Amino acid sequence: MQFIDLVTQKNRIRENLMKRIERIIDSAQFVMGPEVLEVEKQLAEYVGTKHCVSCASGTDALLIPLMAKGIGPGDAVLTTPFTFVATAEVISLAGATPVFVDVLPGTFNIDPDKVGAAVEEARQKGLNPKALIPVDLFGLPANYDRLETVADEHGLWILEDAAQGFGGTVGGRKAGSFGFVGATSFFPAKPLGCYGDGGAIFTNDDELLELLISVRVHGGGDDRYNNVRIGLNGRFDTIQAAVILEKLTIFDDELALRQKAADAYSARLKGRVEVPEVPEGYTSCWAQYSVLANSTDDRARLMAALKDAGIPSAIYYPIPLHLQKAYENLGYKPGDFPITEDFSARVFALPMHPYLKAEEIEQICEVILGA
């Protein structure tokens, strides 16, 4: 049994994808070819924003907006400690300081009610709080109705980290469209993934668009040798754009299949483990199906039983960011973010992809229920 099945998906799109790739090879337009502009247009239309700027990775998709907005030393950017390191890493790479905010029970996402205290913490540290990066963890968008209100109250702009959330919705509005700017990842394991690294940035702001394009390619101005700011090499490969174009043709169907799998899991496992909570009016793209065991020992027992049955599982994320060695200079300690720490001690993820068979889900659930 596979944790993520990319082979079955590949077989669905192989014929048309190979035609696209062959055209690219014949044209020799491997960098910023016409497929890149095509995929940016389709992605912007899908998300519902005026603009999309593709880039080389999900990490670049987060870093480029920070650079474009001039985030740097002396600035604080707020985010959650319960996420992949890239979310906080880009803050540090920009020269700013991460300030963490605990998450909500149930949804795994940042708690809007704790943002104000984090703003005050930043100021007490002599920092200037500038931005907020909520994370759409495991596929579920954060509570942007409340977050946008809180951010406005404290003079923050929002960079939505939709690296795991692309395809999720709130009130019909798609992940990537929230806040001032949104970012996503096309890492192969994502619900919409390419065959390597890739990412995209979304915004409705025309001025920001020009800055994003400049930073993406070495801070260029009117031409490639007129460098008006510090940038990076963050271009999206043409062949990867072709992969995303073909995967978009089946993406909504795959989202429906992911939802079907998640519903089946939740119906069988509720009561044995804490299943993911999806608030009314929200949908998840189910980048992962993560549950909470009763304890760390219970998690170990369940994962061992799954392994014995030949079923893969994974832990996202075993060490919260505020307790990582890379961030020990921030001075956080165990107990500072109790919900995050509790989740890290109990969370684990089950196989999740559109091609999970009903009998496979039943087998997984039987192992967990019998452990």
The residues annotated as belonging to the active site are 190
- d(Cα 73, Cα 66) in Å, to the nearest integer? 12
Are 290 and 349 in contact by the 8 Å Cβ rule? The answer is yes
Strands 97-100, 282-283: pairing is: unpaired
> Which residue, among 201, 207, 210, 240, has the nearest Cα to 228 in the 3D structure?
210
- d(Cα 290, Cα 314) in Å, to the nearest integer? 9
Helix/strand/coil for 129: strand
Are 238 and 33 in contact by the 8 Å Cβ rule? The answer is yes
> Which residue, among 262, 269, 258, has the nearest Cα to 365 in the 3D structure?
269
Q: Pick left, alpha or beta for residue 184 (phi over 0 → left; psi -120 to 50 → alpha; otherwise beta).
A: beta
> Which residue, among 260, 50, 44, 279, has the nearest Cα to 169 in the 3D structure?
279
What is the token pair recorded at 66?
């920070």
> Which residue, among 246, 205, 221, has the nearest Cα to 213 in the 3D structure?
221
Residue with tokens 């109990």: 346
> Which residue, among 197, 225, 226, 228, has the nearest Cα to 211 in the 3D structure?
228
